[in-house]
Structure 1
């Protein structure tokens, strides 16, 4: 099963390609809810001192006005991305006053849908479009699932690697086509083996009852205490049936194909251009106010939730599918990572090093096309791991066979050892095999996974989910308030905040196109970057 992987590793070694893997790039995106002094979701505006959520490159908001998103630029080494994230959050915390950043993926106490303010981005056409898109999500899915937080891991293989790798593979086509094909193979494997990340990294086995808004608890959930529901073997309820996942794919009619970059872009574009009778009932523009961008199966590409996305940085108001088709894949975004409540950054260095091993494994491991049956198995395995991953009896669907999750996890992790050894050699360090060993321990002992540790602390301290998360959030606030930020970096963050506010003001004063025409031009891919 790993014969091609072993062959490719030998090829890298024989052709001395190690130096061409040194400059991989890592970027991180971390979401956190702002929580007020009353321990409920903050109702305050996004702080102006942090800059404009529309135009700031590193500090923005996701779905809700209170859902902060911190973004690092690509860094040469994964630990540098983590340090950058810590610096951003240090600056943010020094501006927040009495507010907390919620340190778990599942949200704090919610007082119903009305408690969640959809993010505002100003009066420019670009800002209005972002807001209307989120209004559409509220009408289609409700608001609660949109304020679940996570971490996105953005990764690109060293650009210098592709040309010599293509040469030793004997591929004579275009370099861009070769790179795209290799990245799509990685994407398919990240889906195929993605349940492993949910098991190893999952840190959301419990929720506050308020999250359900009075709805009955889903099957499998049990009462932990008066305020908390949990699943005894759960790992990441965020990635389960209460989250914003592909479990809604059959209902919505979205069928995304990952066989090639072309089929991926075409299938997304088809969903964006296909009218949906159910969403038509909502209406698009009602009494002069937009409820959604359109009434199609997807409003835009981002509405399709996937655990992994091939990405290309956008230019101006470019559509993601257009960017991919015109310039190919630049990096891959892994989206299935829970916020680690046990670390102020939401992730540890060991976890980051393991993700690098995992990404290279998925690149080099054989990656056949995903059949319809396997696609169902992929979704089944991810859902099963989210809800019952720590159950010693749980079994996955793999290539038509039923296999023990624990056994498969150990097999996969051992298969990654030569990849970890390769990265050790590339960087002249031992951190990659060390991090692999730590993950193997989790495969042998589910009781030390982050999800198990969370439940254990709650039980030991007789805490509700809210009390656990609130305590951790306070600990992390103390860490950031005591963490020094170099004066020059503090000034740089201040400069970026002021600059972003000026950019937003320029967008709002310079607009010459009405929103109806702007939206139509964007959706048809004809929007000129000089207009907003």
Structure 2
């Protein structure tokens, strides 16, 4: 018999060991900008080592788009010590007239061609990374690709999955239970994950230059000299205008179990797109994309949450998942938080821990394609008009407004917070709920409302506010001290990255076309 929520809480309360030692990691993206707030045209600073092989500091789409990667941490304090140290080292070695952009949506960019693709050296894998980005540029444009976000990686302890099997009356054990449990978490995140952009979305406004003259049906209003916004938007980064792909809308990715998920991804990887076929693969001796499929590689699948497993050498993400199951999940719907120097706060992390544990613990029925599309519509509505008091969302055939859904969810998360705080020293989960839960009823307290009010009240621009914050945070980060690492540690990471890239380049035996043919043939296995 299925357990109700209070029965689940009671059961988890009897197994406190299953709710300790969460695994956490953060990947934070940020643009390097000049003193005038425009995108830096300089190459990735050599002081950071090689982007291809550095363990903590790399680039994403562009040379100017930095990405910071923490190791896995079992405590929130340790996680933020890592993140602080990386930021401190980066700003100490930034060119003097450069800053880190503190918002998700880009700074002023003159044109698509002013975005230099990330370069990863002369190895085949390095060339493949840059060619993949060339494909993204040709398919979607560079502006979309320099949008920044924060990715949160999360894993529950191994002991949780035995408890999960009993909690869900499942006969599964070991990695099968773990993978099934994570897929259940993912389905619930797809149902209720709109709360993340609602609560933490911070991109209701953008610089006009982002549109690059393209038409949009969104009813933008104007403030300052160059900022456009939607009055009720939470995260334009996650809207059709931002980091999405209309070509992927009919891929029918299935999240009901790991095998069906991998099968649907495999189909998507082989599906052609007429627009991309017309584009061609090689022109005038240069690659314009890796292939003409809807997805060049798995990384191109845009999703608010991903199932993940650390890959071995020459292994694709799907092959890793198929061989050893799901190891952790990656949350991809967090905007950069402009109100803090690191782009994310401890309070946000505590809420994410709480929400994701709830997603894994409550019932998670299979998702039909009809329900999946309804969930996607809820998400789309929230990112463009989430603070509209007239907005209603339908979940599992029940309709309510955001405040109503928030009241229901808050009741359950409050009980979960008490449970998780039994393993904490300072009631961090209950405190996070006290600060965050009122935002469902009082939308003026959400991140998007706060940032928009600040811009409009000053009759200013998104860009001028961001530049002001960039300079403030650079000073703060320069003035702090290392907590875990040191200059010596980063010097060693730099040298190791240089040596490792040289080894990779020296080991290449195939031509680049043969390497790609080999890669895609292996990916079919």
* Cα deviation, residue 71, structure 1: 0.5
Root-mean-square deviation (CA, aligned residues, Å) is: 1.8
Structure 2 gaps, min length 5: none
User: Aligned in 2, Cα 1:483/1:463: closer, same or farther, shift over 3 Å?
Assistant: same
Q: Which of 314, 333, 357 in structure 1 is aligned with 2:354?
A: 357
- State the SS of the aligned residue for 2:310: coil
Taking structure 1 as reference, are residues 343 and 271 closer, same or farther at Cα in structure 2, changes over 3 Å only?
same
2:114 is matched with 115
Partner of 1:132: 131
Residues matched between the structures, number = 523
Secondary structure (helix, strand or coil) at the match of 1:296 reads coil
What is the Cα deviation at residue 38 of structure 1? Answer: 3.5
**What are the superposed Cα offsets for residues 369-399 of structure 1, whole Å, 9 maximum, x if unpaired?**
1112211111111111111111111111222
Contact persistence 1:518–1:527 (CA under 8 A): no
Q: Could you say which residue in structure 1 is the equivalent of 2:63?
A: 65
Separation in structure 2 between the aligned mates of residue 6 and residue 517 of structure 1, nearest angstrom: 58
Residue 262 of structure 1 corresponds to 259
Counterparts of 2:328 and 2:211, CA distance in 1: 35
Residue-by-residue CA offset, 1:340-391 (whole Å, 9 max, x unaligned): 0000011111111011000101001111111122111111111111111111
Q: Could you tell me whether the CA contact under 8 Å between 2:150 and 2:334 is conserved in 1?
A: yes
Give 1:317 deviation, angstroms. Answer: 2.4
Matches within 5 A, 1:218-257: 218-245=217-244, 247-250=246-249, 253-257=250-254
TM value normalised by structure 2: 0.96
1:507 aligns with 2:504: yes
Indicate whether 1:285 and 2:294 are aligned.
no
**1:6 lines up with 2:6 in the alignment:** yes
- Verify the 8 A CA contact 1:521 1:527 in the aligned structure 2: no
Offset at residue 217 of structure 1 (A): 4.3
Paired residues for 1:399-410 under 5 Å? 399-410=396-407
The aligned residue for residue 343 of structure 1 is 340
- 8 Å contact 1:247–1:379 — kept in the other structure? no
Give the stretch that moved more between structures: 72-81 or 148-157. Answer: 72-81
The residue correspondences of 1:3-402 to structure 2 (distance < 5 A) are 4-13=4-13, 16-97=14-95, 98-166=97-165, 171-245=170-244, 247-250=246-249, 253-402=250-399
- 1:428: Cα distance to partner? 4.3
C-alpha distance after superposition, 1:75-121 (max 9, x if no partner): 00123212211110110000002211100000000111001111110
2:359 and 2:386 map into 1 onto residues whose CA distance is: 21
For the Cα contact (< 8 Å) 1:23–1:77, is it kept in 2? yes
CA–CA distance in 2 between the matches of 1:261 and 1:446?
Answer: 37
What CA distance in whole angstroms lies between the structure 1 residues aligned with 2:424 and 2:20?
Answer: 7
Instruction: Tell me the residue number matched to 2:513.
Output: 516
| 8 Å contact kept, 2:165–2:173 | no
Q: CA deviation at 1:410?
A: 2.0
Indicate if the aligned counterparts of 2:81 and 2:484 stay in contact, CA closer than 8 A. Answer: no
SS of equivalent residue, structure 2 residue 329: strand
TM-score scaled to structure 1, two decimals? 0.95
Q: Is the 8 A contact 1:109 1:208 kept in 2?
A: yes
SS in 1 for 2:486: helix
1-structure distance, mates of 2:461, 2:280: 41
3-state secondary structure, aligned to 1:39: coil
Q: Give the secondary structure class of the aligned counterpart of 1:317.
A: coil
The secondary structure found in structure 2 opposite 1:87 is helix
For residues 399-435 of structure 1, the C-alpha deviation after alignment (integer angstroms, 9 at most, x for no partner) is: 2343211211221122211111110013344110110
In 1, Cα distance between equivalents of 2:322 and 2:222: 48
Q: What is the CA–CA distance in structure 2 between the aligned matches of 1:526 and 1:489, rounded to whole Å?
A: 39
- The 1:189–1:526 alpha-carbon spacing in structure 2 relative to 1, beyond 3 Å, is closer
**Contact 2:306–2:329 under 8 Å retained in 1:** yes
Superimposed CA distance per residue, residues 485-529 of structure 1 (whole angstroms, 9 cap, x where no aligned partner): 26962210111011101111121122111111211121122699x
Deviation string for 1:158-194 (max 9, x for gaps)? 1232235435755443411111101000011111101
The secondary structure found in structure 1 opposite 2:393 is strand
**1:6 Cα deviation after fit:** 2.5
Unaligned runs of 5+ in 1: none
CA contact (8 A) 1:166 1:175 kept: no
- Aligned position for 2:463: 466
Contact kept? 1:41, 1:108, Cα under 8 Å: yes
User: How far 1:207 moved relative to its partner?
Assistant: 0.2
SS at 2:522's partner residue?
A: coil
Q: Secondary structure at the match of 1:384?
A: helix
Taking the aligned partners of 1:466 and 1:404, their CA distance within structure 2 comes to 33
Comparing 115-124 and 479-488, the one that deviates more? 479-488
Give me the whole-angstrom Cα distance separating, in 2, the residues matched to 1:65 and 1:6.
50
Change (3 A) 1:133 1:80: same
**Structure 2 CA distance for aligned equivalents of residues 486 and 422 of structure 1:** 30
Determine if contact 1:79/1:352 at 8 Å carries over to the other structure. Answer: no
Rounded to whole Å, the distance in 1 between the matches of 2:47 and 2:524 is 31
- The CA distance in 2 between the partners of 1:120 and 1:473, in whole Å, is 25
Q: Shift in Å at residue 274 of structure 1?
A: 2.2
Q: Which moved more, 1:408-417 or 1:466-475?
A: 408-417
Q: 8 Å contact 2:223–2:459 — kept in the other structure?
A: no
